[in-house]
């Protein structure tokens, strides 16, 4: 199509649009004029009706009024609706009129508040099984666990697991009931009535798994706490064992790596506020960020209060990221829970480095401090397998002493090894891909001591 034809086509299209707009305006003006004319006729008709009544021609006046109603005019018939309100405005033109309508809102219970009340009082159950167990969540209409009530559930076996009903109570009133030592099979779970609540799931069919599966627990977010909900001083008590394995050759400066090696840091809430732009300018290539921990006293799952701020600050400044989780799992089931928590917290982030399980002591009184080599190795393997089942790369962090005395390294060789050993050259004879060479470093943009690392992963 040449330029002349294009110009003509454009002009023709514009003409059609202008004609349509003019037509719309004209029609609307006509309707408005007709409306005002009708109002005028109504007022005029009312006056004529009054005169006719005085002249004794009321019958004719009534017939005239009936004819006008059929044509759309109201004449003097007060049963027909007026087009103007008492203020002289056209009815329907005040879009805020509903605010003055006393019947529009229920002053005792506005609709939104009533909806929220309904959600908070409506109960459902969600149940998951990892291995011969059930974790039952009591949820409100918004999907949040309901706390402060001693809910009671009954569990009855079906089919091959048919047994008399057993009752279980939420003794700590946290909205979660855990049942262990169950036979694998199908069960019916019933939430007993509770005053002030409406139970929508009278019975829930559940399946108890026979063997542990290294798969993410979908509803793990309901178990994650913030530090505002716990006593962090009692729960976050990890102690760096590598600090006791030193010989005076520890280097605290930021190393300049050779070849494809990269220099990085690992951070948590203990590092406080971080100026990530300054950290990047200082030469840091990567950061491994703590996303959370399991309480060393109660075993509760807790999100690190600086996790989101740290991961977003690092990413915004072009620093590669990985994450770690401080474990206090005492068995494989708890390790799967911890891994599931990590995946839940990191679901919106692309990680450049692996997800690490941080296994070290908690001051001697931690719930997992007494684990044997076999149990601790099984915990780390279960964590890593669950992480990798979700499509992430996994690794294990431990000091040289722990790799030698508290873990079976050969059973964890499929995962990235992150070694903590604070000397100029590690004495550890096993393979490792990341080396934390000091906890006494310093970096521009950070206050206090900083953990410094070298990565040999090649990225």
> In this model, does residue 58 exceed pLDDT 80?
no
CA–CA distance, 46 with 289 (Å, rounded to integer)? 83
CA–CA distance, 394 with 396 (Å, rounded to integer)? 7
pTM, two decimal places: 0.72
- What's the pLDDT at 79? 44
Q: Is 364 left (phi over 0), alpha (psi -120 to 50) or beta?
A: left
Domain spans of the chain?
3-83, 115-208, 223-455
**Strand runs labelled E in 281-428:** 286-294, 301-303, 320-326, 355-358, 394-399, 416-420
Q: With contact defined as beta carbons under 8 Å apart, do 362 and 327 qualify?
A: no
Above pLDDT 70, what percent of the chain? 73
- What's the pLDDT at 49? 40
Give the Å distances, CA to CA, from 264 to 213, 267, 358, 428.
Answer: 34, 10, 17, 20
Place 241 in a pLDDT band, splitting at 50, 70 and 90: confident
CA–CA distance, 289 with 268 (Å, rounded to integer)? 6
Residue at token pair 């002289």 = 88
Question: 418: buried, middle or exposed (CB in 10 Å: 19+, 13-18, 0-12)?
Answer: buried
The verdict on domain 115-208 having CATH code 2.60.40.10 is: yes
DSSP secondary structure, 59-70, as one string:
HHHHHHHHHHHH
Q: With contact defined as beta carbons under 8 Å apart, do 303 and 345 qualify?
A: yes
Above pLDDT 90, what percent of the chain? 60
CA–CA distance, 262 with 255 (Å, rounded to integer)? 9
What average pLDDT does range 311-330 have in this prediction?
Answer: 98
Tokens of 424: 């100029």
Place 115 in a pLDDT band, splitting at 50, 70 and 90: low
Place 36 in a pLDDT band, splitting at 50, 70 and 90: very low
What average pLDDT does range 71-92 have in this prediction?
Answer: 50
**Three-state DSSP class for residue 24:** helix
* Angle at which helices 58-71 and 3-54 cross, to 10°: 160
Place 52 in a pLDDT band, splitting at 50, 70 and 90: very low
> In this model, does residue 18 exceed pLDDT 90?
no
For the chain, the straight-line distance linking the first and the last C-alpha, in angstroms and rounded, comes to: 54
Instruction: Name 379's Cβ contacts closer than 8 Å, sequence gap at least 6.
Output: 327, 329, 330, 331, 332, 334, 335, 357, 359, 368, 371
Place 292 in a pLDDT band, splitting at 50, 70 and 90: very high
Q: Which option is the CATH number for 223-455: 3.90.1150.10, 2.40.30.10, 2.60.40.180, 3.20.20.80?
A: 3.20.20.80
CA–CA distance, 403 with 24 (Å, rounded to integer)? 82
Question: 145: buried, middle or exposed (CB in 10 Å: 19+, 13-18, 0-12)?
Answer: middle
Q: With contact defined as beta carbons under 8 Å apart, do 223 and 333 qualify?
A: no
Give the Å distances, CA to CA, from 288 to 194, 238, 311, 350.
Answer: 46, 17, 9, 13
CA–CA distance, 266 with 436 (Å, rounded to integer)? 9
CA–CA distance, 459 with 397 (Å, rounded to integer)? 18
> In this model, does residue 109 exceed pLDDT 90?
no
> CB count, 10 Å around CB of 353?
25
- Sheet with 133-139, side-by-side order of all strands: 176-180, 133-139, 122-128, 198-199
Q: Supply the mean pLDDT for the chain.
A: 83
Place 17 in a pLDDT band, splitting at 50, 70 and 90: low
| Among 414, 404, 341, 344, CA closest to 381 | 414
| Among 91, 179, 177, CA closest to 139 | 177
Quote the DSSP letter at residue 19: H
């Amino acid at each position: 199509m040449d330029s002349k034809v294009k110009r003509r086509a454009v002009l023709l299209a514009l003409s059609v649009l202008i004609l349509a707009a003019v037509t719309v305006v004209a029609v609307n003006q006509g309707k408005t004029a007709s409306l005002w004319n009708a109002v005028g006729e109504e007022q005029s008709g009312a006056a004529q009706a009054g005169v006719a009544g005085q002249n004794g021609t009321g019958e004719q006046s009534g017939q005239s009024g009936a004819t006008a109603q059929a044509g759309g005019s109201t004449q003097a018939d007060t049963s027909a609706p007026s087009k103007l309100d008492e203020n002289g405005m056209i009815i329907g033109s005040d879009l805020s009129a509903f605010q003055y309508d006393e019947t529009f809102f229920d002053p005792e219970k506005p609709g939104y508040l009533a909806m929220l009340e309904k959600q908070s009082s409506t109960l459902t159950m969600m149940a998951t099984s990892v291995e011969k167990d059930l974790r039952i969540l009591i949820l409100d209409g918004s999907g949040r666990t309901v706390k402060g009530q001693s809910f009671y559930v009954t569990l009855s076996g079906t089919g091959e697991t048919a047994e008399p009903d057993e009752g279980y109570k939420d003794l700590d009133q946290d909205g979660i009931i855990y049942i262990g030592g169950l036979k694998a099979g199908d069960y019916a779970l019933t939430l007993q009535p509770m005053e002030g609540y409406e139970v929508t799931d009278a019975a829930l069919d559940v399946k108890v798994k026979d063997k542990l599966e290294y798969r993410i627990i979908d509803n793990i977010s309901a178990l994650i706490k913030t530090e505002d909900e716990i006593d962090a001083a009692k729960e976050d008590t990890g102690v760096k064992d590598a600090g006791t394995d030193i010989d005076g050759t520890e280097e605290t400066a930021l190393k300049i790596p050779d070849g494809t090696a990269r220099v990085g840091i690992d951070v948590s809430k203990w590092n406080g506020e971080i100026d990530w732009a300054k950290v990047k300018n200082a030469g840091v290539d990567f950061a491994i960020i703590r996303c959370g921990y399991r309480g060393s006293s109660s075993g509760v799952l807790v999100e690190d209060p600086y996790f989101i701020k740290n991961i977003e600050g690092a990413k915004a400044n072009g620093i590669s990221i990985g994450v770690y989780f401080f474990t206090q799992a005492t068995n494989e089931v708890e390790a799967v829970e911890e891994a599931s928590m990590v995946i839940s917290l990191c679901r919106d982030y692309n990680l450049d480095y692996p997800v690490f399980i941080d296994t070290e002591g908690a001051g001697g009184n931690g719930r997992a401090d007494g684990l044997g080599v076999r149990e601790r190795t099984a915990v780390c393997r279960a964590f890593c397998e669950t992480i990798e089942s979700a499509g992430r790369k996994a690794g294990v962090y431990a000091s040289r002493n722990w790799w030698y005395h508290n873990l079976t390294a050969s059973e964890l060789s499929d995962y990235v090894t992150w070694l903590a050993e604070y000397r100029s050259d590690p004495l550890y004879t096993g393979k490792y891909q990341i080396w934390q060479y000091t906890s006494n470093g310093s970096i521009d943009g950070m206050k206090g001591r900083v953990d410094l690392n070298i990565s040999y992963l090649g990225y």
